[in-house]
């Protein structure tokens, strides 16, 4: 048995809140993400979803796939709408319901950043999950400030591909001093679920930056979503860590770190990149990861 087909025993909660009849593309990382999230949080959850793929995935009126109440919102308003929901629940004395804001990278890193900053600064009692597919996918794959260096999108065509690193959203949110921030990856559902359950138990603003590949936008087969997602972490491109009350902890320390090229070469959106760019990206990944290790050393449990 090769490493790729090795059987892994998952210990996911068995309950299914979300129904299979949704509108996601085949292999959509974001749809898997919601299924896991609702397994973790259960039916006593209210969703705030702005314009993004998930505004569509849920299904057309009058249908809904999520199995919990869902409030659609304007593109930049997920966190503000969720603020309203959580305050209404508080005012009406319903304190056993989780408010879950669920937005794309565009709705979080870009147009929704102001409302998100406001909501987390106020420490609103909610969980905010950004499912990061590194572009505006709903509108047909345009770059966002989460699109990584080197990537093709329709607004960063091959001749003018994306230059510059993606925004470090975790650092931005950590700077708001909220009780809990974490990264997660759909390739590690147990870790994601555990983090959501932990977030649910904490009062105040909780933020999860979730890595969720998009086969349509990243130009890979729908069967490769999980593999590519895992490669992102195995190459230290997307490290899994959490910051609880300012304390950094890298949750997955990769023993045999793979070369970033392995991750990049698995996707069509990086196909055009010359070797020197791969080297540059590798050097940036190394630098970012070192920085994270230093943060953990300085502000970790043992610090």
Ligand X SMILES: Cc1ncc(C[n+]2csc(CCOP(=O)(O)OP(=O)(O)O)c2C)c(N)n1
Q: Does 73 bind ligand X (CB under 6 A)?
A: no
Q: How far is CA 12 from CA 37, 39, 86, 98, in A?
A: 11, 8, 27, 20
| Binding residue (CB under 8 A) for another protein from 33, 68, 214, 264 | 68
In angstroms, give the least distance from the CB of 217 to ligand X: 7
| Binding residue (CB under 5 A) for Mg ion from 27, 29, 50, 104 | 104
282-285 long-range contacts, CB within 8 A, separation 24+ = 284/149, 284/165, 285/235, 285/236, 285/237, 285/260
**Cis ω on the peptide bond leading into residue 115 (within 30° of 0)?**
no
Binding region for ligand X (CB under 6 A) out of 61-69, 84-92, 136-144, 157-165: 136-144
Q: Does 271 bind another protein (CB under 8 A)?
A: no
How many residues make contact with another protein (CB under 8 A)? 48
| Binding residue (CB under 5 A) for Mg ion from 105, 124, 191, 296 | 105
Give me the 133-172 binding string for Mg ion, x by CB under 5 A, dash otherwise: x---x-----------------------------------
Residue placing its CB nearer to ligand X in the complex, 50 or 125: 50
> 300 touches which of ligand X, another protein, Mg ion, none (CB within 5 to 8 A by kind)?
none
Q: Does 105 bind ligand X (CB under 6 A)?
A: yes
Q: Residue holding tokens 């990861």? A: 289
d(CA 125, CA 105): 21
Q: Does 140 bind another protein (CB under 8 A)?
A: no
Q: For 134, left (φ over 0), alpha (ψ -120 to 50), or beta?
A: left
Q: Does 21 bind another protein (CB under 8 A)?
A: no
d(CA 237, CA 104): 19
Q: Which two tokens stand for residue 110?
A: 């870009």
CB 54 within 8 A of CB 102: yes
| Binding residue (CB under 6 A) for ligand X from 31, 45, 48, 138 | 138
How many residues make contact with ligand X (CB under 6 A)? 15
Q: Which two tokens stand for residue 10?
A: 């998952």
């Amino acid at each position: 048995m090769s490493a790729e087909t090795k059987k892994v025993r998952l210990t996911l909660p068995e309950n299914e809140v979300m129904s299979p009849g949704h509108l996601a593309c085949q292999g959509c990382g974001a749809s898997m993400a919601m299924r896991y999230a609702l397994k973790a949080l259960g039916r006593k959850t209210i969703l705030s979803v702005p314009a993004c793929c998930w505004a569509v995935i849920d299904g057309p009126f009058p249908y809904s796939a999520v199995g919990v109440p869902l409030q659609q919102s304007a593109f930049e308003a997920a966190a503000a709408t969720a603020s309203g929901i959580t305050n209404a629940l508080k005012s009406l004395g319903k304190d056993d319901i989780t408010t879950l804001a669920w937005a794309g990278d565009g709705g979080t890193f870009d147009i929704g950043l102001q409302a998100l900053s406001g909501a987390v600064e106020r420490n609103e009692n909610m969980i905010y999950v950004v499912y990061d597919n590194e572009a505006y996918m709903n509108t047909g794959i345009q770059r966002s400030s989460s699109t990584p260096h080197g990537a093709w999108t329709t607004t960063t065509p091959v001749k003018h591909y994306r230059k510059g690193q993606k925004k470090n959203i975790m650092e931005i949110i950590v700077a708001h001093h909220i009780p809990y921030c974490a990264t997660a990856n759909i390739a590690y559902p147990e870790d994601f679920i555990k983090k959501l359950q932990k977030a649910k138990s904490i009062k105040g603003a909780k933020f999860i930056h979730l890595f969720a590949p998009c086969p349509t936008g990243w130009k890979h087969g729908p069967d490769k979503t999980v593999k590519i997602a895992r490669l992102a972490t195995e190459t230290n491109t997307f490290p899994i860590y959490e910051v609880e009350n300012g304390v950094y902890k890298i949750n997955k320390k990769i023993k045999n770190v793979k070369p970033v090229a392995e991750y990049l070469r698995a996707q069509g959106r990086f196909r055009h990149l010359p070797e020197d760019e791969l080297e540059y990206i590798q050097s940036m990944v190394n630098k970012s990861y070192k920085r994270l290790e230093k943060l953990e050393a300085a502000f970790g449990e043992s610090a």
